[in-house]
Amino acid sequence: MDKHSFAHKLKNEPIINSHAHHRPDFVHHGLDLEGVLRNSYVAWCGKLIPEDVSNKGAVDAWLKAVRSRSYFVWLEKSLMELYEIEQPLSANSWSIYDEAIINAHQDKTWHLNIQRKNCGYEAVVQDTYWNPGQDNGHPEIFKAAYRFNSFFYGYDFKAKDHNGLNIQIMHNRSITSIEEYVHFLSEVLHEAKVRGSVGLKCALAYDRSLHFPKASAKEAQKGMEKGASLDDIQKFQSYIFDHVCSEAARLNLPIQVHTGLGLMKQSGAIELQSLIERNPDTKFLLMHGSFPWVGDIAGLTHVYPNVWADICWLPIISTTAASNLLHQLIDVCDADRVIWGCDTHVSEESFGAKLAFLHVLSSVLQERIDAGLMHRDAAEEYAKAIMHDNAAKVFNL
């Protein structure tokens, strides 16, 4: 069996998608080509889409700049396959893509059909950062991962995370004692679990460094007081993270942590080492392969059995880096601790992310079979585990 037939074999296997930000229904209902692009990474990581998409010269110049990026490559493949279009996207073919997308979304279930039929998702773990803990009204497919960034900003009523949230303001509290504050956070986490969350999500790499040295309750209290220094606030945040870790272990909820990109200031996964070491009963799902520091993840999974590698997003950030990391993970990490998710906002990009993932998975496994490093049966089992079984187990689905 060659690489193509391996990919073909995996094409219809069921998937549990570890991470998405799938937009609510109404956003999908109004999509056109511009809407799909504006809700995809190609539009907001680098060059912006021209304001006026009827300006052919500007559109072609934009396409020329972004066409080689992984984000664009997989999105274009997705659109060509979903909408059965043979011409590559250009200013001249723009209207063909545009009409196909607008027409398809006249069927209000089209975006969900892509998720189920084309992507083959049995379940999708959702991070609705605009309103943490939601399932978009489709609990049969979307399972919430509760984003707790706002917990780290409750030291002061004016502080906010990068989504503009502060847990005290969200719950109308005015707590000033650290003891009372952690008690309140425990209640919020318990509530999230009762309402159906299957995991917790931390995206602090967009707010601060991922280094969390141990801090005491006394030090954390200082972070809540008037005139607190940056150091006091960081100690408060370290203390809060340890508290969330112990509660997550108690509630049997894994913690997803965004690593790698973001502020790119101490955001490599290795920064989390002391936090991971102090919390051996907590399951850490380290996301995005810590790109560009992909070796961090491989090293951490080798040493700590409570670390999972979640390669969500990575195949569309850099297809090459994803293949490289997957080879390393097969070498050093148990086969039941690697998972994948699309990390996208609209179904069109989600399908592209799935194509990228299957490309990486099937080529890496085929290379290992050809090199005599893996038996064919073991490779097929490995694929099933990373596509479905590992996520089912760690999220208790």
Q: Give residues in contact with Zn ion (CB under 5 A).
A: 343
Q: How far is the CB of 224 from Zn ion (least distance, A)?
A: 29
Q: How many CA atoms lie within 13 A of 173 on its CB side?
A: 21
- Determine the Cα–Cα distance for residues 77 and 280; give it in Å rounded to an integer: 42
Q: How far is the CB of 312 from Zn ion (least distance, A)?
A: 7
> Please, are residues 253 and 195 in contact by the beta-carbon 8 Å criterion?
no
Query: Which C-beta is closer to Zn ion: that of 145 or that of 369?
Result: 145
- Determine the Cα–Cα distance for residues 143 and 326; give it in Å rounded to an integer: 26
Query: Which C-beta is closer to Zn ion: that of 343 or that of 380?
Result: 343
The pair of three-digit structure tokens given for residue 193, joined into one six-digit string: 């679990």
Q: How far is the CB of 20 from Zn ion (least distance, A)?
A: 8
Q: How far is the CB of 290 from Zn ion (least distance, A)?
A: 14
Query: Which C-beta is closer to Zn ion: that of 347 or that of 366?
Result: 347
Query: Which C-beta is closer to Zn ion: that of 145 or that of 298?
Result: 145
- Determine the Cα–Cα distance for residues 225 and 237; give it in Å rounded to an integer: 14
Written as one letter, the residue type at 386 is I
Number of H helices, E strands in the chain: 19, 8
The pair of three-digit structure tokens given for residue 190, joined into one six-digit string: 């318990």
Q: How far is the CB of 19 from Zn ion (least distance, A)?
A: 6
- Which single residue is written with the structure tokens 């998975």? 361
Cβ neighbours of residue 392 closer than 8 Å, sequence gap 6 or more: 16, 123
Q: How far is the CB of 21 from Zn ion (least distance, A)?
A: 6
Query: Which C-beta is closer to Zn ion: that of 135 or that of 232?
Result: 135
Query: Which C-beta is closer to Zn ion: that of 22 or that of 283?
Result: 22
Q: Name the residue whose CB lies closest to Zn ion.
A: 343
